[in-house]
Chain A
Amino acid sequence: MTAGIVGYGIYVPKLRIKVSEIERVWQKSSGGIGVNEKAVASIDEDACTLAVEAARRGIEDFSIDPKRINAIYVGSESHPYAVNPTSSIVGDALGTTNKYYAVDMEFACKAGTAGMQVCYALKKARMIDIGLAIGSDTAQSKPNDALEFTAASGAAAFFIGDKKDEVIAEIESTCSYTSDMPDFWRRPKAEFPEHTGRFTAEAYFKHVIGAAKMILEETGYRADEFDYAVFHQPNGKFPLKAASILGIETKKVEQGLITPLIGNTYSGSTMIGLASILDIAKPKQKILAVSYGSGAGSDAFIINTTDNISDRRAKVPVLEMIKEKEYIDYALYLRHRRKIKSL
């Protein structure tokens, strides 16, 4: 059996702020970004607690023994510590043994999928039983910056293994397309990231399309051979345009397009979309997944569902889970995200 996904768990915080509320405060339009509202972590949540909750759901829904996890990679651009790993806190909070490889990953929004690649490689090298790759963010955005309309909170955890009766989706192939293209960054001690406006679109399409074409060329598949596709989704428009450029029908992307409903969860973005596809995919279907991280790079995956997916599913699908929500206004949003500096 090829290495692949043996389980997944998603966590999206309950609080939501509507984009229209942010528009009201700053008296400006979000400019038709295709996002209606975004998920907001509570004052007592951070990328670490989100990561634990996502992984815990995967453990419960897919009956995974935490003691079998031998690798934990947590990708985030909002790790709660600059020094002191999130991954070791996650391991202890899940009840693993002490025998696991662990490191925190950072590559803007693609650090979670990079963790999936590492777990996949470790599994193929037979160095681990189950690897856990998490993308988790409480994305930061400066008040009155364009990022504020979309920067959201959420986490996705993917468990990588190779037992025949456990794998719900085989990873057939993966590759990365990387270059030095600084479209979004945060310097040490800076509280919020900076970005280059429209140049980020140029960087996004260069890498997403570059990685997609690279994996198609390497494997010999045509874009229209896939049943589903999911791309990193900084807004509701870019993934649809990426699909259009590659010649993939819009309906194949819609199931994994979650950003319009919860905002851009950064490292969680592509992975939450992929989870939403796995929620409904039938056996023997083919999925193209391409993440994007500023700075810049894209990780592409070809994922094939197996017969196990009929019996092994998340108990609550992503699209159902995100219906549990509570709207807050901009003042409460500032309080929960600790942006009131006099406190």
Chain B
Amino acid sequence: MQQPLLLFIGDLRGDSMHNIAPLNWRKFPERYLLKGNYCEVCKQAFFPPRPICPNCRRKGKLIQMEMPRQGKILSYTKVHVPPEGFKNEAPYYLAVIELENKAKVLSQIVDSEQEKIKIGAKVKKVFRQIGEPDKYGTITYGYKFKVIQ
């Protein structure tokens, strides 16, 4: 499964905005509430949710789980040349975030001063618009993160 932000972008590139809405809807739990899953056998959390535990395979027991809303930046980059759909937001920061349960998320960083965006910075989830294909299609909402410390 791809990282969620790439899925957002992929959605925006679709030919028919009306066909995108059902695809987006199936992702609402992970985009709105960071719902991933957790293997009760190896005790590892996954985000986005995995169809099968990569550690335990068929012996694994996955349950749906809401991920913690806070984490820290593991790595980040500043995007000056954005993919389609994000032109008006550039330049912006993208970061790999390790959540408090060790699951990792790729997310845009918003509302944070440049000097505070660094490896190890504590971040918190916020709810934002991710994009819209045009003024007629549905608006995509989801998670972004902001630095809190």
Contacts and interface: CB of A to CB of B under 8 A. Distances in A.
Interface of A: 14, 42-46, 48-49, 52-53, 56, 80-81, 84, 89, 92-93, 95, 326, 335, 343
Nearest to A60: B69
9 contacts: A14-B111, A44-B89, A44-B144, A46-B129, A48-B139, A49-B128, A53-B126, A80-B139, A335-B88
Greatest chain A CB density within 10 A among B32, B33, B66, B127 is at B127
A105 B32 CA distance: 23
A92 B32 contact: yes
Nearest to B129: A44
B139 A43 contact: no
Interface residues on B, range: 10 to 19
A309 to B, nearest CB: 26
B127 A56 contact: yes
Contacts of B32: 92-93, 95
Q: Classify the secondary structure of B's interface with A.
A: mixed
A45 B126 CA distance: 11
B33 A42 contact: no
A56 B33 CA distance: 11
Pick the 4 closest A-B CB pairs, nearest first: A52-B127, A44-B129, A93-B32, A44-B128
A48 B88 contact: no
Interface in B104-121: 110-111, 113
Given A14-B111, A92-B28, A45 B139 contact: no
A339 to B, nearest CB: 12
A42 B110 contact: yes
Contact of A45 (B33, B88, B129): B129
A35 B103 CA distance: 45
B21 to A, nearest CB: 10
Contact of B141 (A93, A326, A335, A343): A93
Contacts of A95: 32-33, 66
